[in-house]
Amino acid sequence: MTFDRELLALYRQLLQTTRLADAYAEFVRMFRFLRVRLEQEMPAYTFQGGIVENAMDYSYFQCASPALKGLGLKLAVVFVHRPFRLEVWLSGRNRACQQQWHKRLQAGGTPFELAQDPARQDYILRAPLPNVDLADADRLVQVLRQTLEAMAGTIQ
Q: Is 100 helix (H, G, I), strand (E, B) or coil?
A: helix
Give the domain ranges of the chain.
5-155
Q: 98 exposed, middle or buried (CB, 10 Å; 0-12, 13-18, 19+)?
A: buried
93 pLDDT above the threshold of 90:
yes
For residue range 108-153, what is the model confidence (pLDDT) as tens digits? 888 999 999 999 999 999 999 988 999 999 999 999 999 999 999 9
For residue range 54-63, what is the model confidence (pLDDT) as tens digits? 888 999 999 9
13 CB neighbour count, 10 Å cutoff: 11
Which pLDDT does position 141 carry in this prediction? Answer: 97
Residue type, 56: M
Contact yes or no for 141/34 (Cβ under 8 A): yes
How far, in Å, CA of 57 to CA of 96, rounded? Answer: 24
pTM score of the predicted model: 0.93
